[in-house]
Amino acid sequence: MTNTEPRPAGSSAGPGPTASQGRQLSAASVGNAVEWYDWYAYSFLAVYFADQIFPEGAGSSLVPLLSTFAVFAVGFFMRPVGGLLMGAVADRHGRRAALTVTILLMGGGSLLVAVTPTYATAGILAPVVLVVARLVQGLSVGGEFAASTTFLVESAGEGRRGLFSSFQYVSTTVGQLIASGLAALLAASLTTGQMSSWGWRIPFLVGALLSLAGFWIRRGAQETRSREQQEAARPGIFDALRRHPRQSLLICGITTGGTIAYYTWTAYLPTYATVNAGFDKGQALTVGTISLAFFALLQPLGGMLSDRIGRKPMLIGFALGFALLAVPMLQLVTDAFWSLLLVQCAGMVLLTGYTSVAAAINAEIFPARVRAAGIGFPYSLTVALFGGTAPYVGTWFKQAGHPDLFPWYVAALCLVSFCVYLTLPETAKKPLER
């Protein structure tokens, strides 16, 4: 590995991205937005289709919702497999090849969710189809982060890796925003009965069509692997884990607090407010949409700031903020519109300290030869354990009669990552190994 940072086609050290880099950003961001639109539509619409797929349990109306979030978590447990397999594809055959495969898988999974039969018409087949669809989507999204993170950071010019890194969550949030916005629009336009009967299927059909558009855009992207890397011997699928165990553990520690905070504040908080504070379902989706737009605007600012002051101060500020404030912020959630909006936006300001630099710090830890697989598996495994289970754990605490424990759970995991961040070396000013 060389210690110098070769510039990809079109890169420069100037103040803004070149035309070539702009095309690279578009290919990564548009496809990533489509991927995450498909993924998050599930969490926003779960409250509408839960009792269509799962029968109510005796004595508890939360059983269908709990079962639906369990399937949400099951999808997350395919993400490590996707991170490992698609990461290996990216390292062996190129970042672009992996990105085109992941978006086709996501589109297929979204279409399968859209045509999932109800329990009343198909019995046990209904939840089986839903589980298969989420497994396919989990495989896709696990590989997506590994490939797109590597692609974005390798496409950046000198001194702009943080800025380019931030577009990982800009595009993720745009996809989430479109999913939330469409869900809110449908909730406002249709009756609750219509939403539960057939309205919830519309966003998944839209997602399948958008995936085809994303596939077409990604086919025009430039490969970011260097010529030397393309000509070198292809790495084995477990090379990153075997040769870089310390870096793999660091990815886990970096991700633990970030993923629980991210999925709590961006995906689960509307449901948390509905279940725990009696918040109106439609209004909760509206609040989520507004706060997500605010969150997307923050990401490039955080990325540029990290290029100036470093990744470590950003991460420490995020983790310490959530360790101290997660409990009081979630306790402030009531059935009032402004209370939820204030809590969600305040949390997203803190969260930006992690999300705007996550792609950069992950890519800077691993050498190029095994970068995608090295990031993909430990990151996706940690997200599966702590991020994907966040809605289930929060709903389970409510069903068990201890809803106040969930904020402490979030704070504790952020404290774990805070300890890891204190030990990290600063990588912002170092050249990216290629």
| pLDDT reported for residue 409 | 95
Question: Which is higher by pLDDT, 127 or 416?
Answer: 416
Structure tokens at 205: 């059909």
| pLDDT reported for residue 73 | 67
* Beta bridge pairs of residue 60: 57
Of the listed ranges 41-45, 197-201, 211-215, 354-358, the least confidently predicted one is: 41-45
CA distance 46 to 51: 9
In a domain, 227, yes or no: no
Q: For the purposes of burial, counting CB atoms within 10 Å of the CB of 98, is it exposed (0-12), middle (13-18) or buried (19 or more)?
A: buried
| pLDDT reported for residue 254 | 96
List, for residues 62-117, the tens digit of each pLDDT value.
Answer: 556 667 667 766 777 788 889 889 988 888 888 888 898 999 999 999 999 999 99
Segments forming the whole domain that contains residue 187 = 21-218+240-423
Residue 137 — very low, low, confident or very high, per pLDDT cuts 50/70/90?
confident
Judge contact between 31 and 141, C-beta under 8 A: no
CA distance 209 to 100: 15
Q: Summarize the confidence of residues 1-23 as an average pLDDT.
A: 49
Q: Summarize the confidence of residues 243-248 as an average pLDDT.
A: 90
| Residue recorded with tokens 């991020």 | 387
Q: Summarize the confidence of residues 385-400 as an average pLDDT.
A: 83
| pLDDT reported for residue 11 | 42
| pLDDT reported for residue 120 | 84
**For the chain, percent of residues with pLDDT exceeding 90:** 32
In a domain, 188, yes or no: yes
Residue 17 — very low, low, confident or very high, per pLDDT cuts 50/70/90?
low
Q: For the purposes of burial, counting CB atoms within 10 Å of the CB of 219, is it exposed (0-12), middle (13-18) or buried (19 or more)?
A: exposed
Task: For residue 351, give the amino acid letter.
Answer: L
In a domain, 7, yes or no: no
CB atoms within 10 A of CB 238: 13
Number of separate domains in the chain: 1
| pLDDT reported for residue 221 | 76
Q: Is a pLDDT exceeding 80 seen at residue 290?
A: yes
Q: Is a pLDDT exceeding 80 seen at residue 281?
A: no
| pLDDT reported for residue 155 | 85
> Beta strands of 21-131 (E only): which ranges?
none
Q: Summarize the confidence of residues 16-35 as an average pLDDT.
A: 74
Q: Is a pLDDT exceeding 60 seen at residue 13?
A: no
Q: What region, left, alpha or beta, does residue 310 occupy, with left being phi > 0 and alpha being psi -120 to 50 degrees? A: left
Nearest Cα to Cα of residue 38 among 179, 146, 142, 132: 179
Residue 305 phi/psi, 5-degree rounding, is: -65, -40
Question: Which is higher by pLDDT, 278 or 260?
Answer: 260
In a domain, 74, yes or no: yes
In a domain, 11, yes or no: no
CA distance 66 to 72: 10
Q: Summarize the confidence of residues 209-228 as an average pLDDT.
A: 81
Q: Summarize the confidence of residues 364-391 as an average pLDDT.
A: 87
Q: Is a pLDDT exceeding 60 seen at residue 1?
A: no
| pLDDT reported for residue 233 | 60
The DSSP H or E segment spanning 78 is none
Cα 111 from chain centroid (whole Å): 20
How far from each other are the two terminal CA atoms of the chain, in whole angstroms? 6
Question: Is the pTM above the cut of 0.85?
Answer: no
Q: Summarize the confidence of residues 112-123 as an average pLDDT.
A: 88
Question: Which is higher by pLDDT, 99 or 275?
Answer: 99
Assign residue 81 the CATH number of its domain.
1.20.1250.20
In a domain, 431, yes or no: no
| pLDDT reported for residue 12 | 41
Average pLDDT, the chain: 84
| pLDDT reported for residue 250 | 94
In a domain, 349, yes or no: yes
In a domain, 224, yes or no: no
Residue 58 — very low, low, confident or very high, per pLDDT cuts 50/70/90?
very low
CA distance 53 to 113: 11
CA distance 257 to 249: 14
Of the listed ranges 226-240, 269-283, 310-324, the least confidently predicted one is: 226-240
**For the chain, percent of residues with pLDDT exceeding 70:** 89
| pLDDT reported for residue 252 | 96
What angle, rounded to 10 degrees, do the helices at 202-218 and 161-189 form? 150
| pLDDT reported for residue 350 | 97
